[in-house]
Amino acid sequence: MFSFKFMHNLLVVGTSSDAGKTSVVMALSRIFSDLGVNVAPFKAQNVSNNSCVTIEGREISRAQYFQAQAARTPPSYLFNPVLLKSYANGGVQVVVNGLVHKNQPISAYFDEIDELKCHVKNAFSQLLHDYELVIAEGAGSPVELNLLHKDLSNTFIAETFNSKIILVADIERGGVFASIYGTLALLSPQIRQNVIGVIINKFRGDRRFFDEGEKIIEEQFGVPVLGVLPFLPLNIDMEDSQSLHNYCQRRANVKIKIAIIATPKLSNYNDFDVLMADDELDVTLIHDFQTLDYFDLVLLAGSKSVLSDLRWLKSNGLFAEIQEFVAVIKCYAKNSMMLSL
């Protein structure tokens, strides 16, 4: 079994997006902090419209902010040197070292990838100097073969800093063996030899049913299974739109039914956290047309591209449905006022 004793940096990658990398890094940060290790989280590049203010007065992704809290260390811009926020017409707002750099098309962003690699390398190097252990989070999959030369969070970190690697696989999606085997097979030899183990995430049911699966992964794939994590609706924070699909509410005594219009350019997903955490609220995310007369309240959230989302609302009929909902509410309010008089 691999020993963590002499490890200075660890990279957590996933077989896919939303495999659970963020939560695993958060958990490991707290575990090592409990062991007395001075640990820092890191993600070279994050794509999220949700951010928090650091001790330097700059901004990083909320995911890295919460990971810093788990690690019991003050959040710094060094934990997330490149943050991308979706912008109008397929563009991005680029935040470098916690400060807004520019708004640009995604193609122009990739043209500057070498410059951004320098910022990432400097931030990670500084953390290695300041902390006993740095736990980096990858992005998406580490084997998007057409994007490897543009990848800041996976291969660049792994190759530049010779990182030990944990692979997180999402068994909830199905095809967990193929996703693990395929990912391992497509990794470069240098990176593959640094994979110290696999974590199976989002397992449902009796853990004993996966004993044979664990044996297959270890014997046929040649990599140890470090853990099998149960499916739990942690609902720590929603990082992006993919998280919206996996958010699981705990409803106990529903009193108010709320519809949130989930437009394509929806931003600030974390605004809904406080609503979804309340067991008296039934929150439904509306991704396409449906009638709204079931709901007590309809919320239109912020957008990074208002005109684009407005066209989407009108094209699928939700705009007219929202107008009808508002008209009914106004009528109800007017009648209630007249009755009170």
3-state secondary structure (DSSP) of residue 52: strand
CATH superfamily of 9-230: P-loop containing nucleotide triphosphate hydrolases (3.40.50.300)
Considering only residues 335 and 172, tell me which one the structure prediction assigns the higher pLDDT.
Answer: 172
Question: In this predicted structure, what is the pLDDT of residue 107?
Answer: 85
Question: In this predicted structure, what is the pLDDT of residue 36?
Answer: 96
In angstroms, the CA 196 to CA 158 distance is: 13
Distance (Å) of CA 202 to CA 15, 139, 206, 251: 13, 18, 12, 21
Question: In this predicted structure, what is the pLDDT of residue 39?
Answer: 98
Question: In this predicted structure, what is the pLDDT of residue 327?
Answer: 81
| Residues 6+ away with beta carbon under 8 Å from 23 | 201, 234, 236
Whether the predicted pLDDT of 6 surpasses 70: no
Question: In this predicted structure, what is the pLDDT of residue 336?
Answer: 60
Question: In this predicted structure, what is the pLDDT of residue 232?
Answer: 77
Q: What is the percentage of the chain residues whose pLDDT exceeds 90?
A: 57
pLDDT tens digits for range 152-162: 999 999 999 99
Domain regions of the chain by residue span: 9-230, 249-340
Q: Are 104 and 92 in contact (CB under 8 A)?
A: yes
pLDDT tens digits for range 14-42: 999 889 999 999 999 999 999 999 999 99
Question: In this predicted structure, what is the pLDDT of residue 161?
Answer: 96
In angstroms, the CA 28 to CA 31 distance is: 5
Question: In this predicted structure, what is the pLDDT of residue 243?
Answer: 55
In angstroms, the CA 265 to CA 274 distance is: 21
Residue 231 DSSP label: P
In angstroms, the CA 77 to CA 80 distance is: 6
Question: In this predicted structure, what is the pLDDT of residue 8?
Answer: 93
Question: In this predicted structure, what is the pLDDT of residue 315?
Answer: 93
pLDDT tens digits for range 209-247: 999 999 999 999 999 999 999 987 665 655 555 555 556
Q: DSSP labels for 5-27? A: TT--EEEEEESSTTSSHHHHHHH
Whether the predicted pLDDT of 338 surpasses 60: no
Distance (Å) of CA 83 to CA 47, 50, 258, 301: 6, 10, 31, 21
Most confident of 216-225, 272-281, 283-292: 216-225
Residue with tokens 């007395």: 36
Mean per-residue pLDDT, 243-254 = 66
Whole-prediction pTM? 0.77
Q: DSSP labels for 155-178? A: HHHHHHHT-EEEEEEEGGGS-HHH
Query: What confidence category does residue 265 fall into, taking pLDDT thresholds of 50, 70 and 90?
Result: confident
Question: In this predicted structure, what is the pLDDT of residue 244?
Answer: 56
pLDDT tens digits for range 71-126: 999 999 999 999 998 776 678 899 999 999 999 888 888 899 999 999 999 999 99
Mean pLDDT of the chain: 88
Degrees, nearest 5: CA angle 336-339-341: 115
- Residues linked to residue 133 through DSSP beta bridges, in sequence order: 39
pLDDT tens digits for range 184-193: 999 999 999 9
In angstroms, the CA 196 to CA 12 distance is: 10
Mean per-residue pLDDT, 34-51 = 93
Question: In this predicted structure, what is the pLDDT of residue 64?
Answer: 96
Q: Are 132 and 8 in contact (CB under 8 A)?
A: yes
3-state secondary structure (DSSP) of residue 284: strand
Question: In this predicted structure, what is the pLDDT of residue 245?
Answer: 57
